[in-house]
Chains A and B, each alone.
Chain A
Amino acid sequence: MLLDKLKAIVGDNNVTTEEFILHTYTNDFSVSPSVVPLAVVRPGTTEEISNIVKLANEYKIPISPRGGGSAQEGGCLAVEGGIVIETLRMDRILNIDEDNSIVKVEAGITFGKLMAALEKKGWKIGIAPSGALAGTVGAHLSRPGVGWGNVKYVSQGDQVLGVKAVLPMGDVVNTATAANPHSEVFFRYALGPDLTGLFIGAEGVYGIVTEATLRMYPYPEEIYLERFSVRSLKDAVSIFREIAIHNLTCFISAPFINSNEIVFDINIEGFEKEVEAKKEEVRKIINKYPDVKHLGSDEPLKFWENRWYNTGLEFVDGIAGVVNFFLPYSKIELGINEMRELIDKHGVTKYVQQVFPGPTGAEVVALLFHNPSDKEELNKIYSAMKEMMSKSLILGGAPYSKGRQWAPFLKEEMKETGYWSMSKTIKKALDPNAIMNPGVIGF
């Protein structure tokens, strides 16, 4: 009955209850336990999503929205007795508005496709995740993602001007200036509360984003990269902070924080003269630290050329449990050291720590590798991750993305707060049947 109704909405070929297919929609990039959904639906329009959501309310069936299925915290995973709505069919660029430097897309477009189309016209977006080739715009803003470009452009949330979303009861809402039925999205903070923000970082609990309007920028005249290494973590963090607060780079990437050496790349973009000037300023900062080695531009430029293909190379060591959170600059050193202590305490032997600085703090990452056949190692990783997530919140950290992985820890630390209470009140008002991505975030 439900299946027939879903077929009537999206067509026979875009809904499945085939067991073998359902089993392949049980994971993302994370190590979260998997659940087999009741059905997977692949809608092609906002209207179809709206109708599916109305139907799900009728049957009180939980919905898990899913983009490329490649995030690390289990935000898109199915729940028991639920359906998965995958947005990959909605992959069109709806408008590249060069006059107003904005681009409107359907939520299921991958960053790879979007960036390639913009670059052909001499434009770029601000932020793209490292998994840009498979990751979708809708999913990334729902985390909300950071990524390449986050010193200059901050977060994907900061790039979003407005969205179209299907609310948990099936109603469709346009935010920002498009709330005015006579207008398109061109400015976010208008006409009342910033309802766009309701969907950013909400991981689908307040509705499914089906369209997004993002800022776009002229493709820079020059992009410069340089690699450095420094022995002291304290010095590294000071360097990152000083570069970031002066907004000298597009991004800084420190993919390997070892106990005795931190290698980092800086990326400067802009007009030729601007890049030259910023390069000098970065060097002035870096040269204040006697331990810093200049490793040149060749390797980071090679990496940059293939940046989207190279992402993931570190996973050659195994599948990783990921603990990824933001800390203010004042706590980064402490955070990295505390995480390392916990990793060691649990006897996890293969891991990488990373730092990706932003303007007011940094993303602190730990990748704990294991071979999934090795259950003993996996259990060590699970127990390490639990303690790390809990500790990071006590340190004042904020998870990059919440998903099902962080939900219990967020609830534990935040359940008594006004923020939690307000978030739940909104959730109850919008989603009285509690069907929209339940369990994610913690409510």
Chain B
Amino acid sequence: MLEKYLDEINKCTRCGFCRVWGWKDVDSVCPVYKYTDGWETQYPRGRVKLAKLLTEKKIKISEKMVDHLLMCTLCGHCKISCPINIPLDKIFHAIRKEIVENDLSDPAHREMANNVIKDSHPFGNRRRHSYAEKNMSGKIKVLYYPGCNANYNAPKIIRATKSVFAKLQINYQVLDEDACCGYPLYESGHISDMKMAAEETLSKIEKYEADIIVTACPGCLNALKHLYPNELSLNHNYDIKDISEFLIPLVNGKLSSHNKTVTWHDPCVLGRHLGIYEEPRNLLKVIPDINFVEMKLHHEKSRCCGAPLAEIPRMNELSIQVASERAKEVEEVKAQEVVTSCPACYSNLKRAVGFNQLDVKVKFLTELINEVLSDE
């Protein structure tokens, strides 16, 4: 697994630019490093060295090493900052597969994978809201795939998105059952479990006979659209769109005034990993009277919100620290609202805003669109 990246791993000059820059618009490349003890193994350069040593079989993965390796959100900021473009995100993901293969998966990640296999969602013994209002009869145009995070942690997102679809008179159906895309398992390196989940999910999707699948979760989008065919060899013919791409052509002229200063938080998966930066911005910018501002770090330099760390209970504090820094950036540009379209970012930024008692409102993209979209 890691072996295939050895040439790339060997390219690391050890310049250290992936540590902390302190220059101009980027004061820190790795969003997590500054909140760690600060060892080499807690930022990309040291992890690349570990990848090299593991590939050359000079060291073995240990529990403590896993702890350091997981203090990484796979946000990809280091990759875009590397002067010689080493695919750091891919290397760090390959290490996660090694962790799983060595049976050293973090218990929280293991539990998540077990839950997905057992219950088709990662959150264990919890109850999901029900959203279906329509009977599944007749062919539908759009299948709205809300994702487990929205289902279990932020149902408000689903209610808002449904309302937007209804107002736009879309012929749609919510995928109103547990069907995990497997993205959290991909991130934690549980690839074979992800494949099992993916196969089950595809069979559930198939029942809806939809023309388009619309996601409002970048992880789901990445999994369904890219990882299934490219990483799992699960090919399908669905047209899959992010909610921002889907809504842009439909809302123009139907939005009412929103006289607020608003900024956009780029989810790492949507932005750096999938390259979707402009669509959500364009959607916000067509709202009449909106004062759209960018945060200090935006587009490919956007700061991660730290949400993936929260999957591991002992890293919850770290997750809040990283999120707090992002939330403070919202306040710095005097934005009243920060909008995003990743349920994990949404929840983590909300926590950070609350924790820091900031006068900022966190909104999901469809939540804001629903507010300003007329019924007609």
Contacts and interface: CB of A to CB of B under 8 A. Distances in A.
Nearest to A11: B37
Contacts of B10: 319, 371-373
A134 interface: yes
A20 B21 CA distance: 25
Interface in B1-56: 6-7, 10-11, 13-17, 19-24, 27, 37-41, 45-46, 49-50, 53
Interface in A126-143: 131-135
A69 interface: yes
Interface stretch (B58-66, B193-201, B266-274): B58-66
Number of contact residues on B: which range applies? 35 or more
Interface residues of A, number: 45
A271 interface: no
A148 to B, nearest CB: 13
A24 B50 contact: yes
B59 A315 contact: no
B356 interface: no
B108 interface: no
Contact of A312 (B15, B21, B37, B64): B15
Interface string A363-387: 0000000011100000000000000
Given A20-B64, A24-B50, A373-B7, A14 B37 contact: yes
B84 A134 contact: no
A23 B50 contact: yes
Contacts of B23: 112-113, 115-116, 132-133, 308
Contact of A371 (B7, B14, B50, B81): B7
Given A16-B39, A110-B22, A23 B49 contact: yes
B6 A373 contact: yes
Given A20-B62, A319-B10, A312 B83 contact: yes
Contacts of A217: none
A42 interface: yes
A371 B64 CA distance: 30
Nearest to B17: A133
Contact of A23 (B7, B15, B45, B59): B59
Contact of B16 (A13, A16, A42, A134): A134
A25 B83 contact: no
Given A27-B14, A68-B16, A20 B65 contact: yes
A13 B22 contact: no
A379 to B, nearest CB: 16
B171 interface: no
Given A371-B10, A372-B10, A70 B16 contact: yes
A29 B11 CA distance: 11
A318 B38 CA distance: 27
Nearest to B21: A133
8 contacts: A20-B65, A23-B58, A29-B13, A115-B23, A132-B23, A133-B21, A315-B11, A371-B10
A20 B11 contact: no
Interface in A1-43: 13-14, 16, 18-21, 23-25, 27-29, 40, 42
Contacts of B62: 20
Interface string B118-147: 000000000000000000000000000000
A312 B13 CA distance: 8
A289 interface: no
Given A309-B83, A313-B84, A69 B7 contact: no
B14 A113 contact: no
B82 to A, nearest CB: 9
Interface string B71-87: 00000000001011100
A112 B22 contact: yes
A42 B41 CA distance: 14
Contact of A24 (B22, B46, B84, B85): B46
Interface in A310-342: 310-313, 315-316, 318-320
B59 to A, nearest CB: 6
Contacts of B59: 19-20, 23
Contact of B83 (A27, A40, A311, A319): A311
Nearest to B47: A24
A88 interface: yes
Given A21-B39, A312-B83, A371-B10, A116 B22 contact: yes
A20 B41 contact: yes
Given A69-B14, A315-B11, 20 more contacts: A13-B37, A16-B39, A20-B65, A25-B40, A29-B14, A29-B15, A69-B40, A70-B16, A112-B21, A113-B23, A116-B22, A116-B23, A131-B17, A133-B16, A134-B15, A134-B20, A308-B21, A309-B83, A319-B11, A371-B7
Given A18-B64, A69-B14, A70-B14, A116 B38 contact: no
A16 B68 CA distance: 13
A320 B81 CA distance: 20
Given A113-B22, A133-B22, A24 B40 contact: yes
B188 to A, nearest CB: 20
B70 to A, nearest CB: 14
A89 interface: yes
B77 to A, nearest CB: 13
Contacts of A68: 16, 19
B13 A320 contact: yes
8 nearest A-B pairs in the assembled complex, by CB-CB distance:
A134-B16, A113-B22, A312-B83, A112-B22, A24-B40, A24-B46, A112-B23, A70-B16
